[in-house]
């Protein structure tokens, strides 16, 4: 019976993929997930390896085949995990809360072997950890509720230090550019910013939403916050063009809709996921969030909680009742001669890599091409090349010996189009 179920699910995914491609539409399809818990976060290192965590059962899932199959690698019936983050293929952290007879405590756990084993590193009474972000293998932050305290580590999560924001609230998401500058967002539409590593915080926005649930930047200036206005029954997407110093509403969606997460791959293309009474929602923007296009999916649930995007062809969503979806096909295909028949980027190999890696790409027409490497703060770490190249297939060997361990973004640009791909350096 189980084999028949797997075959049926596989055939359904393939059929939906074929239909989506034949109709030129973007479709999101369910992946095989062993979980029944609400999956609150999803994180991918590359196109193959990713993790997801869940609530009310402390489930942690891992995939090594791009989400086609998932394995449960940990669980704890007393714990809810709300976020997960990996600095490389081995080192990762998950945060949440554990509830026992004497109350609920915030918890941070750590793995040094890709999730095979986990160790408790921080337990704080009467709070819950909600999100985390690292700028290196050693330095990261975790947000909490209900007292608005931020926790910082400088030794890879072995020890954490409390930092006060001066606000008693829930901070649902955070983003740091480097060891100095970062932002947190949460309840009451509150967005706060630090320029000294979290020692001091200043309010940069409030009131644009009842809550901002997702926060994302593509560089040190351009970012988005996704949330909800409950009384108006509106989903809200706000944006900043000056590193979070000021924010304004980019667009709203009416009809008892709420946004829970947002990810952009460049200044124009991005996705927002959320919930509504009629079912979970996915929106795509190709103009920086000014206009949103609804995208189809085959999940019969009312809430998507998180998403992760590697490039225009590889993205995943997690949601209620153990649902995980993957995007098929690339929504930018068929627009512009540079990517009219597929991606420019092939898969960087090896990935994870050290020493040097090979970057394959395919130009449908000759033109000016650039290849840049960014760190997760959005800063350029290397300009690999910037020159005219003829049409055809190319492979560029890139020396990465000078890059410290962690995640980097390779961005190729040609003929007005760009694509980004993650590389894990170890």
Q: Which residues contact 24 (CB under 8 A, 6 or more apart)?
A: 334
Is residue 262 a contact partner of residue 286, using CB atoms and an 8 Å limit?
no
In 177-222, at which residue ranges do the beta strands (DSSP E only) sit? 182-186, 191-194, 202-205, 211-217
pLDDT (0 to 100) of residue 306: 98
Q: Please give the radius of gyration of the chain, using alpha carbons only, rounded to the nearest integer.
A: 21
Burial of 199-231, coded b for 16+ CB within 10 Å and e otherwise, reads: eebeebbeebbbbbbbbbbbeeebbbbbbbbee
If we measure between CA atoms, which residue out of 190, 216, 369 comes closest to residue 289? 216
In 247-366, at which residue ranges do the beta strands (DSSP E only) sit? 248-254, 257-264, 270-276, 281-285, 293-294, 296-297, 304-311, 314-319, 324-328, 356-363
* pLDDT beneath 50, residues of the chain: 1-25, 330-341
pLDDT (0 to 100) of residue 32: 86
pLDDT (0 to 100) of residue 26: 55
CA distance 274 to 284: 12
pLDDT (0 to 100) of residue 25: 46
Q: What strands, in cross-sheet order, belong to the sheet with 182-186?
A: 171-176, 182-186, 191-194, 202-205
pLDDT (0 to 100) of residue 88: 87
**Strands 50-54, 39-44: pairing kind:** antiparallel
10 is written with which tokens?
Answer: 């596989």
- Give me the domains of the chain, ranges plus CATH numbers: 28-328 (2.130.10.10), 356-425 (2.60.40.3080)
Can you give the pTM of this predicted structure? 0.77
pLDDT (0 to 100) of residue 163: 98
Instruction: Name the β-bridge partners of 122.
Output: 108
């Amino acid at each position: 019976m189980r084999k028949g179920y797997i075959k049926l699910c596989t055939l359904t995914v393939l059929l939906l993929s074929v239909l989506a491609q034949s109709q030129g539409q973007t479709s999101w399809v369910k992946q095989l997930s062993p979980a029944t818990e609400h999956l609150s976060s999803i994180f991918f290192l590359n196109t193959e390896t990713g993790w997801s965590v869940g609530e009310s059962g402390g489930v942690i899932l891992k995939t090594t085949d791009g989400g086609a199959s998932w394995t449960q690698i940990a669980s704890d019936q007393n714990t809810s995990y709300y976020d997960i983050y990996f600095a490389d293929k081995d080192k990762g952290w998950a945060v949440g809360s554990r509830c026992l007879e004497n109350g609920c405590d915030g918890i941070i756990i750590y793995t040094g072997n890709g999730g095979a084993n986990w160790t408790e590193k921080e337990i704080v009474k009467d709070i819950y950890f909600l999100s985390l972000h690292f700028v290196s293998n050693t330095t990261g932050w975790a947000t909490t509720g209900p007292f608005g305290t931020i926790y910082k580590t400088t030794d890879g999560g072995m020890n954490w230090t409390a930092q006060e924001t001066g606000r008693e609230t829930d901070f649902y998401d955070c983003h740091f550019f480097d060891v100095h500058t970062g932002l947190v967002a949460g309840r009451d539409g509150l967005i706060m910013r630090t320029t000294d590593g979290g020692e001091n915080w200043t309010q940069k926005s409030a009131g644009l939403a009842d809550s901002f649930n997702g926060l994302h930047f593509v560089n040190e200036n351009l970012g988005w916050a996704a949330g909800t206005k409950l009384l108006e029954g509106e989903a809200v997407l706000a944006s900043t063009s000056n590193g979070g110093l000021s924010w304004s509403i980019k667009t709203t969606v009416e009809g008892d809709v709420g946004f829970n997460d947002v990810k952009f791959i460049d200044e124009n293309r991005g996705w927002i996921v959320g919930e509504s009474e009629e079912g979970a929602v996915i929106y795509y923007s190709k103009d920086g969030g000014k206009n949103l296009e609804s995208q189809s999916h085959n999940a019969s649930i009312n809430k998507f909680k998180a998403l992760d995007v590697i490039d225009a062809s590889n993205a995943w969503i997690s949601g209620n009742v153990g649902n995980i979806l993957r995007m098929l096909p690339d929504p930018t295909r068929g627009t512009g001669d540079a990517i009219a028949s597929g991606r420019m980027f092939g898969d960087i190999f090896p990935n994870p890599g050290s020493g040097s890696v090979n970057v394959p790409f395919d130009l449908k027409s000759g033109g000016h091409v650039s290849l840049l490497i960014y760190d997760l703060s959005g800063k350029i770490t290397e300009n690999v090349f910037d020159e005219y190249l003829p049409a055809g297939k190319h492979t560029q060997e890139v020396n990465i010996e000078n890059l410290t361990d962690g995640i980097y973004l390779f961005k190729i640009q040609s003929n007005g189009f760009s694509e980004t791909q993650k590389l894990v350096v170890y």
